[in-house]
């Protein structure tokens, strides 16, 4: 989930939306493009009858081919090009006009071809009004600049532009159509709303991006069409696989049967249009940018997205399986009951199609393998044509179902075979578990084994000289001594000098580096400590610990052999019970944190180190990490924040219980502060948690975690000593959640 909410890039027209915002906007737009017409279909089906309904759907499928012709694959190739142009305003303007000019030229060609074709079709001369009313959709898509706005990741701006025309369209359908003679008004209203939306969208692009709209047809136009022909042909032929059966059915069965088939097919498509297509369109430019910058990381992002895609498709498909038959019977009437088994049989298609789109459109097209994608789709189209003609002639409607499913399965197998031949394998199902899905996608780095590295021990401290004798005694018996000990002291001058004397007397043969911090700040203290260390192993510990004698040797041996890992080890206190669990230092997706840093079981895929002791190899790839100075109070989030940065840098965090340190919490320590005023301690923690989500662009997780945090806040207020009446406690609970939101907003 973090992977799809990455840091948006900037353009001259403002900030691009994060992928999650673009995804939501795409879902809303697809809803308006597809479901608004679906909402009126029951009414239209009742009023015009199944025969006219079949004619409308027949020409809708036919016009879909002409719409694909004018789109010419620019919704992929154009989006990809725009996403890669970045902030070059002049290049963006030139490309916008070049593509729009090409689409309008294609519209003229499509209109001429359509005029020739309509009289030759079954019932074409008898339904010219419906035929030409439907063709207006092609004109709308020829003008539509969605491809450009998608590449700029500003789709949210087009949502409201789409709303009013679509609402007007619904009203027109309900108030004007009264019988089969007015059947043409249904496609006409769709066409007019599409054209209006397209014109308004072009005006918005002109104003938002300062692009002068200029239409010109020259050799550059033809060169562009030639250059992008493979994606266009792929899209056109791919559409054949799912819609050619409707055209063939028109020659073999009555139009009322065509109406039954297209109704089941349309309802099946709801799951694709509302769920799969918005996700794919949002992922395409994002994964494209990632693959361009770092192919391995881009494919890792895609692997993270796959379980969410399949889960969304499964959820919507199961919903349609339950709701679809009821919709057909109660909205369309008994006349359309034959569409129910058609719908149920076709609901396997969204799973197969989404898998094909992942392999073909998301992976291969972003790897610029346009020709190979075209070959797969072309061969699938040939298979589809033969399957449709043969099976429909043999089994009628059942044959159309078998042909559609068979063609989609053939495409999926072909893509999988092609990727295997190219040596591309990105699916890692073992990473599709919640604890790994919420980890960041790292930038891979090669880090070789370190031979006998320096070991630097970092110890921040604050006015607690009384705890140091125990710690120093445990250090004197270490089987592996540190090369340098960095002490970041936030005490007074007198205590600071006393601490220096104590340390150098008890460990005279160690190199000491004392740093005095005038203003106490635990994050700044730890940050100064780790960045004072030379390259090698850095181990950070609290000052109130007792270390086992093999503590530093264990860290030295382990991190020398596994330099890409961050090591954190077991901590016990006198009142802690024995515990065996792998849920250590881990956040759930809903916000619960499993600390359990005293478990007897090892654990991996941690999201945070423990604050009292952890170590890592300091090298150039992690020199940029810092403890966050903006965190407030004592209930702070410095370890999860630093850990996220380490994870992004390609490190993994592991927990090993083989060495155990003893922690002696002090009366002025963090645990004590929590007990004295739990409400304010947690409120500070909530505020910092909000900052943590904003800093690392975890917008989706930020919202998902609000319900749990509200429950946690209520538990703290009602059970941890807050005095006040019931309504005061509710008000304080709400205030704590506001602190969480305030941290998120303030950091952004």
Tens-place pLDDT, residues 486-517: 999 988 899 999 999 999 999 999 999 999 98
Mean pLDDT of the chain: 84
Q: Tell me the pLDDT band of 2, cut-offs 50, 70 and 90.
A: very low
Give residue 6's pLDDT.
Answer: 39
Dihedral, CA of residue 460, residue 466, residue 468 and residue 471, to nearest 10:
-110
Residue 28's pLDDT is 59
pTM: 0.68
Q: How far apart are CA 568 and CA 609, in angstroms?
A: 6
Residue 667's pLDDT is: 64
| Residue 30 pLDDT level (bands cut at 50, 70, 90) | low
Average pLDDT score over residue span 649-659: 94
Element (H, E) at 27: helix 19-30
**Tokens (6 digits) for 282:** 């949002």
The per-residue pLDDT for range 302-360, each reduced to its tens digit, is 888 888 888 888 998 999 999 999 988 888 878 889 999 999 999 999 999 889 888 88
Strands (E), 522-642: 536-541, 545-546, 565-572, 586-587, 593-594, 613-618
Helices 89-117 and 74-85 cross at an angle (nearest 10°) of 170
* d(C-alpha 204, C-alpha 158), whole Å: 8
Lowest mean pLDDT among 307-311, 639-643, 689-693: 307-311
> In this predicted structure, what is the pLDDT of residue 217?
83
- Residue 374: per-residue pLDDT: 81
CATH 3.90.1640.30, applies to 455-666: no
pLDDT of residue 22: 52
pLDDT for the residue 241: 64
Give the chain's end-to-end CA distance (angstroms, integer): 19
Phi-psi category of residue 86: left, alpha or beta, with phi > 0 → left and psi -120 to 50 → alpha? left
pLDDT tens digit string along 327-339? 888 888 788 899 9
Contact 552, 533 (CB under 8 A): no
Q: Report the C-alpha gap between 555 and 455 in whole angstroms.
A: 9
Distance of CA 405 to CAs 190, 262, 401, 411, 644, Å? 29, 15, 6, 10, 44
What pLDDT is stored for residue 8 in this prediction? 37
For the chain, helix (H) and strand (E) counts, in that order, are 28, 12
Per domain, the residue ranges of the chain are 39-227, 265-432, 455-666, 690-747
Residue 12: pLDDT over 60: no
Radius of gyration of the chain measured on its C-alpha atoms? 32
pLDDT tens, residue by residue, 237-273: 766 666 777 777 877 777 778 778 888 888 888 877 7
- Tokens for 225, please give them: 């069409």
**Which has the higher per-residue pLDDT, 26 or 521?**
521
- Residues 147 and 63: their CA atoms lie apart, in Å, by 20
Tens digit of each residue's pLDDT (9 = 90 or more) over 49-79: 777 877 887 888 889 889 888 888 887 788 7
For residues 225 and 234, which has the higher predicted lDDT (pLDDT)?
225
Instruction: Please name which of 204, 301, 243 lies closest in space to residue 64, comparing C-alpha atoms.
Output: 243
pLDDT at 44 over 50: yes
Tell the residue number behind the tokens 């917008």, with chain if given. 699
Q: Is the pLDDT of residue 460 over 90?
A: yes
542 within 8 A of 663, measured Cβ to Cβ: yes
Instruction: Compute the C-alpha angle 301/302/305, nearest 5°.
Output: 95
DSSP per-residue string spanning 49-74: HHHHHHHHHHHHHHHHHHHHHHHTTH
Residue 729: pLDDT above 50?
yes
pLDDT at residue 11 is higher than 50:
no
């Amino acid at each position: 989930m973090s992977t799809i909410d990455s840091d948006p890039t900037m353009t001259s027209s403002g900030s691009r939306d994060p992928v999650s915002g673009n995804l939501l906007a795409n879902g809303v737009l697809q809803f308006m493009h597809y479901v608004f017409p679906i909402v009126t279909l029951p009414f239209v089906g009742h009023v015009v009858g199944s025969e006219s309904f079949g004619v409308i759907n027949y020409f809708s499928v036919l016009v879909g081919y002409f719409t694909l012709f004018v789109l010419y694959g620019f919704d992929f190739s154009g989006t990809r090009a725009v996403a890669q142009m970045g902030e070059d305003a002049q290049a963006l303007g030139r490309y916008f006009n070049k593509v729009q000019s090409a689409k309008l030229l294609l519209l003229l060609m499509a209109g001429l071809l359509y005029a020739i074709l309509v009289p030759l079709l079954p019932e074409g001369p008898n339904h010219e009004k419906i035929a030409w009313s439907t063709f207006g959709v092609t004109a709308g898509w020829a003008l539509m600049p969605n491809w450009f706005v998608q590449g700029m990741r500003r789709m949210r701006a087009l949502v409201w532009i789409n709303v009013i025309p679509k609402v007007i369209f619904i009203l027109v359908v309900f108030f004007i159509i009264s019988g089969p003679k007015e059947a043409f008004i249904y496609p006409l209203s769709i066409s007019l709303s599409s054209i209006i939306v397209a014109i308004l969208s072009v005006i918005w692009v002109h104003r938002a991006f300062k692009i002068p709209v200029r239409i010109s047809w020259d050799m550059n136009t033809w060169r562009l069409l030639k250059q992008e022909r493979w994606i266009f042909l792929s899209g056109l032929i791919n559409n054949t696989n799912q819609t050619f059966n409707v055209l063939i059915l028109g020659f073999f069965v009555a139009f009322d049967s065509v109406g039954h088939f297209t109704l089941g097919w349309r309802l099946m498509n709801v799951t694709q249009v509302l769920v799969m297509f918005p996700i794919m369109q949002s992922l395409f430019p994002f994964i494209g940018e990632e693959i361009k910058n770092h192919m391995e990381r881009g494919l890792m992002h895609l692997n993270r997205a796959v379980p969410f895609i399949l889960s969304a498709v499964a959820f919507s498909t199961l919903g349609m399986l339950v709701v679809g038959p009821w919709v057909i019977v109660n909205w369309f009437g008994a006349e359309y009951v034959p569409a129910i088994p058609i719908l149920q049989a076709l609901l396997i298609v969204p799973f197969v199609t989404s898998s094909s789109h992942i392999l073909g459109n998301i992976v291969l097209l972003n790897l610029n393998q346009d020709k190979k994608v075209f070959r797969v789709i072309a061969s699938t189209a040939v298979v589809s044509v033969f399957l449709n003609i043969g099976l429909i002639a043999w089994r009628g409607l059942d044959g159309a179902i078998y042909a559609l499913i068979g063609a989609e399965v053939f495409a999926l197998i072909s893509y999988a075979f092609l990727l295997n031949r190219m040596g591309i394998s990105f699916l890692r199902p073992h990473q599709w578990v919640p604890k790994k899905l919420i980890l960041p996608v790292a930038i891979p780095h090669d880090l070789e084994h370190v031979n006998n590295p320096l070991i630097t021990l970092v110890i921040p401290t604050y006015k607690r000289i009384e705890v140091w004798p125990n710690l120093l005694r445990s250090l004197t018996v270490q089987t592996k001594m540190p090369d340098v000990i960095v002490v970041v002291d936030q005490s007074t001058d007198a205590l600071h000098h006393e601490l220096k004397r104590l340390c150098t007397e008890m460990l005279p043969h160690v190199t000491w580096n004392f740093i005095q911090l005038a203003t106490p700040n635990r994050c700044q203290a730890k940050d100064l400590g780790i960045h004072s260390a030379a390259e090698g192993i850095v181990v950070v510990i609290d000052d109130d610990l007792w270390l086992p004698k093999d503590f530093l040797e264990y860290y030295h041996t382990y991190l020398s052999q596994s330099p890409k890992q961050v090591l954190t080890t077991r901590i016990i206190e006198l009142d802690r019970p024995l515990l065996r669990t792998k849920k250590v230092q881990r956040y759930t997706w809903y916000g619960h944190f499993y600390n359990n840093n005293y478990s007897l079981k090892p654990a991996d895929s941690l999201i945070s180190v423990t604050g009292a002791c952890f170590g890592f190899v300091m090298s150039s790839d992690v020199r940029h990490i810092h403890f966050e100075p903006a965190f407030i109070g004592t209930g702070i989030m410095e370890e999860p924040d630093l850990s996220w940065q380490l994870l992004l840098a390609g490190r993994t965090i592991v927990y090993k219980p083989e060495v155990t340190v003893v922690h002696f919490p002090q009366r002025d320590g963090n645990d004590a502060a929590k007990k004295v005023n739990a409400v304010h301690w947690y409120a500070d923690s909530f505020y910092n948690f909000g900052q943590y989500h904003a800093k690392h662009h975890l917008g989706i997780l930020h919202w998902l975690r609000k319900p749990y945090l509200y429950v946690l806040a209520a538990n703290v207020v009602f059970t941890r000593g807050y005095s006040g009446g019931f309504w005061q406690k509710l008000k304080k609970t709400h205030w704590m959640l506001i602190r969480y939101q305030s941290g998120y907003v303030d950091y952004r």
